Amino acid sequence: MYINNLYMVKYMNSKGEEPWHYGFEHKQIDEKPIERLIEKIQIKEDDLIADLASGPGRFSIEFAKRVNKGLVYAIDISEEALETLKDSLNKKKINNVKILLADISKKIPLDNNSIDIVFMANAFHGFVHGGTWSNVLKEAYRILKSDGKLAILEFKKTHRPPGPPINIRISYEELSELLLKEKFTPILVDDIEDNHYLVISRPK
């Protein structure tokens, strides 16, 4: 069975001026890879999770189902995406997701050392391409507890659709190098499905 996921993409042109695309695209994600992703992240029921660049919250909702005693922060720069998430939460009667409107490349509106898991799906490559990846990782490091985890789901660096052009994608080797530069130690790299890989790291 396949389910719809909406995700926001924003890519700047080669001069860093106008975005090539800004909006929502439909993507089909099999439920089994989602379960595999959650299994790899090892979410506990009392975890505090920050879903960065959450878009309309496909993963925020899945995480919320598993943290009965915890909380999910869905953080995005798009009011439209967060309104979509708000509607979904109301329809599903989910009350353990807190919505935050913010630009994570500048400041994540959460306290230092407060989060068990920082998660980002299909978004980090955009910050790499836009030149703001370092601050995103610094902010993730700041809000993570010392024993917390950073989990990044990304498109494999292939021509296979859906997803951005191959020159915008980053490989897991490239991602791991960037993590090491910002005081993260990768502890797991795994395929989630044909078009995605997951890197989990811990703060040094």
Q: Where are the beta strands (DSSP E) in the chain?
A: 2-12, 19-30, 48-52, 71-76, 97-101, 115-121, 144-155, 184-193, 196-203
The answer to whether the peptide bond before residue 162 is cis (omega within 30 degrees of 0) is yes
What is the pTM assigned to this prediction?
A: 0.86
Does residue 19 register a pLDDT over 70? no
pLDDT in tens, 52-91: 999 999 999 999 999 999 999 999 999 999 999 999 999 9
Q: What is the domain extent for residue 74?
A: 2-203
Residue keyed to tokens 């993963």: 59
The per-residue pLDDT for 117 is: 99
The per-residue pLDDT for 103 is: 97
Does residue 18 register a pLDDT over 50? no
Average confidence (pLDDT) over 132-156? 98
Domain tally for the chain?
1
Q: Comparing 21-30, 45-54, 119-128, which segment has the lowest mean pLDDT?
A: 21-30
- The CATH number assigned to the domain holding 195 equals 3.40.50.150
Q: How far apart are CA 51 and CA 121, in angstroms?
A: 8
pLDDT in tens, 80-126: 999 999 999 999 999 999 999 999 999 999 999 999 999 999 999 99
Q: Comparing 24-28, 33-37, 150-154, 189-193, which segment has the lowest mean pLDDT?
A: 24-28
124, 168 contact by CB (below 8 A):
no
- Numbers of helices and strands, H then E, in the chain: 6, 9
Q: 7, 9, 18, 12: which is closest to 129 by C-alpha?
A: 12
